[in-house]
Homo-oligomer: A and B are copies of this chain.
Amino acid sequence: MSQSISVGIVGATGAVGQELLGILAERNFPVGELRLLASPQSAGKSVVFRGEPFVIQATTEDSVSGLDVVFFSAGASRSREFAPAVLHSGGLVIDNSSAFRMDPEIPLVVPEINGELLQDGPRLVANPNCTAIMLLMAVAPLRRLGPISRLIVSTYQSISGAGAAAMEELLDQTRAVLAGEPAVPQILPHPCAFNVFSHNTPIGEDGLNEEESKVIAESRKILGEPNLAIQVTCVRVPVLRAHTETVVIEFAGSAPSLESVRTALRDAPGVQLVDDRATNTFPMPIEASGKDDVLVGRVRIDPSHPSAISLMVSGDQLRKGAALNAVQIAEVLALDPDRASGLSAASVGPKS
């Protein structure tokens, strides 16, 4: 393919922005012109892509215009402000923020799950919440074994989900605690070193925090099951990268056999089954970090319900949970739109 695609990244200095650059290079995305955009404070800084320095520009209506694809990863308000200029100039928007995810007109896509939504060539595609992506990468392949009636999830979310500065905060606090000094929270509301806490997003009237509400609403939209029963508790743990989740899956009919669950997971594109009872080896965030595949395992019968199974998931929040999923969407829309019709049934890229 000798295509050349002009690319913009809004939020190029952030954790997801940096990951986007790495993944575009790794996957040989045919980047032509590259505009790295960020807040005016970051403008003038230099970032390296494929060994070449690029100067960060301020995000403006001008700087986002005239590009083939613009990835947004700088928060919902930035996406709302600048996505229209991209679209107006004929560019494609792939948005990592929550700005458009629940807009019924805008597809919310995990290519392996509902990639067929890319068939119609949408100009703006929303990239889902990372916790929802991890959950659904494990759950969606099991729907062929029977209809799912309820999901019960607890998360072990890494600090990377709160951005690069929060990762630094975890490291700084950890150094402080080891030196016998207090862990002073600045970015996150509570100390994160050697601690866990309920997710740091505001709590609504219903008692759910915003992260939990996103997981529920986005999972229903992606699966096309607007009434699916979902219970989720989102918790932060002192892990740098990769989210882990425990999941109970209740089936409407009888529970599938564990062997059929393992087979469905083994066959699922983007999933790696990690399920060795003998050596107690199951998905762990340090193993999931840096990997494209989402690790799924600890598959077992739920002894408390006649038709439920339970499992664990670990996936790199910055890769499949954000940047990789966004690039996969761009690969279909910008490079190979014909592939969209075959998605959800087959793989996006080879299994690693």
Question: B residues within 8 A CB of A312?
Answer: 198, 233, 235
A200 to chain B: closest CB distance in Å? 6
A208-B303, A303-B216 given; A246·B229 CB < 8 A: no
Q: Check if A174 is an interface residue, CB within 8 A of chain B.
A: yes
* A298 interface hit (Cβ, 8 Å): yes
- Whether A49 sits at the interface, judged by CB under 8 Å, is no
Taking CB atoms and an 8 Å cut-off, the chain A residues in 253-306 that contact chain B are 258, 277-280, 282, 284-286, 298-305
A86 to B237, CA, bound (A): 43
A244 at the interface (CB under 8 A from B): yes
Copies of this chain held together in the complex: 2
A174-B178, A237-B237, A246-B235 known; A229+B304 contact, CB < 8 A? yes
Task: Classify the secondary structure of A's interface with B.
Answer: mixed
When the two chains form their complex, are residues B239 and A150 in contact, meaning their CB atoms are under 8 A apart? no
Chain B residue at minimum C-beta to C-beta distance from A314: B196
B residues within 8 A CB of A229? Answer: 303-305
Determine whether the beta carbon of A231 is less than 8 Å from that of B196. Answer: no
Q: Which of B189, B216, B237, B278 contacts A196 (CB 8 A)?
A: B237
Name the one of B209, B239, B244 contacting A238, with C-beta atoms under 8 angstroms. B239
Q: Which residues of B contact A156 (CB under 8 A)?
A: 156, 196, 235, 237
Q: Which residue of B lies closest to A240 (CB)?
A: B194
In the bound complex, how far is the Cα of B235 from the Cα of A284, in angstroms?
A: 10
Q: 27 A–B contact pairs at CB < 8 A?
A: A150-B305, A152-B304, A154-B233, A175-B178, A178-B178, A190-B280, A194-B239, A196-B284, A196-B285, A197-B284, A203-B277, A203-B280, A207-B277, A207-B298, A207-B301, A216-B303, A229-B305, A230-B303, A231-B302, A231-B303, A231-B305, A231-B308, A231-B310, A233-B298, A235-B244, A235-B312, A237-B238
Query: How many angstroms between the C-alpha atoms of A229 and B209 in the bound complex?
Result: 28
Known: A156-B237, A195-B285. Is A151-B189 also a contact (CB below 8 A)?
A: no
Q: Which 6 A-B pairs have the closest CB atoms?
A: A207-B300, A154-B154, A229-B304, A231-B304, A203-B277, A233-B246
Per-residue interface assignment for chain A, residues 16 to 37, with 1 indicating a CB less than 8 Å from any chain B CB and 0 otherwise: 0000000000000000000000
What is the CA–CA distance of A48 and B246 in the complex, to the nearest angstrom? 43
The one of B151, B195, B258, B284 in contact with A190, judged by C-beta atoms closer than 8 angstroms, is B284
Bound-state Cα–Cα, A232 to B305, Å = 12
> Is A202 located at the chain interface by the 8 A CB criterion?
yes
Check A345 for interface membership: any CB of B closer than 8 A: no
CB of A188 to closest CB in B, whole Å: 10
Q: Is the CB of A208 within 8 A of B280?
A: no
